Structure 1
Amino acid sequence: MYTLVTVADVVEIHPRDFHKPSKRAIEDWINTKYADKVIHKVGLCVGFHSLISASEGLIGHGTGIVNVNVDFRLIVFRPFKGEIIRGTISSSNESGIHMSMGFFEDIVAPAALLFGPSQTELEEGGSRTWVWKADENDFYFDRTEKCLMRVEQETWTDLSPQMKKLDEDFDMEARDAAGLRSCPYRLTVSMALTGLGPDLWWLGEQAEAAEEAAKAPENVEETNEVEMAA
């Protein structure tokens, strides 16, 4: 699910950050630029991992900005095809179910990749819920339910202004109407195998007990953060 990716870049340290140790200033710049951003065909950057190397700083003429060539590692979210991941149902429509992992929202389970036969039912307020019609029993994909899902496909979209201009098929209004807003990285998942889908289907009371335990406050041990000297 998570991998380490090596990246090379030029870090710009502004004069306002000169009071920081140099390694801390470099780390802050990298996190500001990359954290919670998608790198095309790489994945969603979670944050800085480690610094591999850094050159001597060069002061820009007239700006006071110090430029440093660095090589570093990033923690990247990019599950592999066939991996089982856990998420929460955020919404449903006629085309399928939208999932969330809290930090990543662009996950879709199309209707064709749900247990069959499944159909939608209209709820109060106009929202829809998918229901698996298994013999004489109905199993609901209720909103906010925790689910296991299998990664089937990843879709990349370059959203840079240049690519939008060149791509004649880029129809943002049509995608929004289908409930598929434009995003740089999307996962297509399935919930049609034994053990997949809402936890309550397979675990029953055990899933409810685990959910209650997760909501209970926990004792967190304090740790001392050590700053790296320049």
Structure 2
Amino acid sequence: MYTLVTLADVVQIVPSDFEKPSARAIEDYINEKYADKVIHKVGLCVGFHSLLSASEGLIGNGSGIVHVNVDFKLVVFRPFKGEIIRAIISHSNATGIFMSMDFFEDVVIPPQFFFSPSSWEDDENGNKIWIWKSDEGPEFFFDRTEKCLIRVEQEQWNDLSPQMQRPEDFNLEEKDQYGLRRSPYRIVASMMFTGLGPEMWWIQEDEAAAGAIEEGGADGASDDVEMA
């Protein structure tokens, strides 16, 4: 889920930060620039990890800003394909279910990655929701705020930096196929394998299985007593 990446950059230390130790000033600059931002085809930057090297500082003319060439490592969020992660259902619509990991919101599960057959229909309260109708008969609901286990299937990248787009194409309000604003990094996940989906489904199943085993054990014990 998390990985370390090595980057190089020029750190600018302003005069107001001269009272800080050099390493601390560099770390603060890197965190301010990169933390909680997406680097294209790298991932979501979580924070500074370690400083590998730093050059002598060069003072800019007139500004007093010190420029330092640095090599450093960042902690990056980028789960691999096939990884099982936990997330919460934040909302859903006819195009899919949208998940939240608190610090990362761009996780979507399209209908083709649900348990089959699943349908977009009204629940008992008249609210639109995705419902899985299993072969055994009961219906299972993908309720909002449910904690789920999901499997990473794909990554979707959009380079939204202004220099990568023509002025006429630069529109932050443009919607994608899910009815959302385009995201620089989105995870497409699935809930179509045993053990995936709302955790409550499987907890209830495990409890039912445990109850059946206990009942079987109790019956066996009584038979032994009678035979004795």
Same fold flag (TM > 0.5): yes
**Alpha-carbon deviation of 1:179?**
2.2
Secondary structure of 1:159 counterpart: coil
Secondary structure of 2:75 counterpart: strand
Name the structure 1 match of 2:110: 110
> Which aligned pairs between 1:53-64 and structure 2 lie closer than 5 A?
53-64=53-64
C-alpha separation in 1, matches of 2:178 and 2:79 = 25
Q: Which amino acid aligns with 1:74?
A: L
Name the structure 2 match of 1:90: 90
Q: Normalising to structure 2: TM-score of the pair?
A: 0.84
Q: What are the ranges of 5 or more consecutive residues in structure 1 without an aligned counterpart?
A: 208-230
Q: Aligned pair count?
A: 206
Larger radius of gyration: 2
**Alpha-carbon deviation of 1:163?**
2.7
Aligned CA distance change for structure 1 residues 22 and 171 (closer, same or farther; 3 Å)? closer
Contact 1:87 1:148 in 2 (8 A): yes
Name the structure 2 match of 1:101: 101
Q: Once the two structures are superposed, what CA deviation does each residue of 1:154-205 show, in whole Å capped at 9, x if it has no partner?
A: 0100101233317969895442x84232110000000000000000000139
Secondary structure of 1:28 counterpart: helix
Name the structure 1 match of 2:74: 74
C-alpha separation in 2, matches of 1:58 and 1:169 = 36
Name the structure 2 match of 1:223: none
Name the structure 1 match of 2:218: none
Secondary structure of 1:62 counterpart: coil
Name the structure 2 match of 1:153: 154
Q: What are the ranges of 5 or more consecutive residues in structure 2 without an aligned counterpart?
A: 208-228
**Alpha-carbon deviation of 1:83?**
0.7
> Which aligned pairs between 1:107-146 and structure 2 lie closer than 5 A?
107-122=107-122, 128-135=128-135, 136-146=137-147
Q: Normalising to structure 1: TM-score of the pair?
A: 0.83
> Which aligned pairs between 1:1-230 and structure 2 lie closer than 5 A?
1-122=1-122, 128-135=128-135, 136-165=137-166, 172-175=173-176, 178-204=178-204
Aligned CA distance change for structure 1 residues 114 and 102 (closer, same or farther; 3 Å)? same
**Alpha-carbon deviation of 1:91?**
0.3
Aligned CA distance change for structure 1 residues 72 and 169 (closer, same or farther; 3 Å)? closer
Q: Which amino acid aligns with 2:108?
A: V
Secondary structure of 2:98 counterpart: strand
Q: Which amino acid aligns with 1:150?
A: R
C-alpha separation in 2, matches of 1:5 and 1:141 = 36
Contact 2:96 2:111 in 1 (8 A): yes
Secondary structure of 1:204 counterpart: helix
Contact 1:157 1:185 in 2 (8 A): yes
Contact 1:164 1:170 in 2 (8 A): no
C-alpha separation in 1, matches of 2:36 and 2:206 = 33
Contact 1:93 1:127 in 2 (8 A): no
Q: Which amino acid aligns with 1:153?
A: Q
C-alpha separation in 2, matches of 1:96 and 1:169 = 26
Q: Percent of pairs identical after alignment?
A: 66
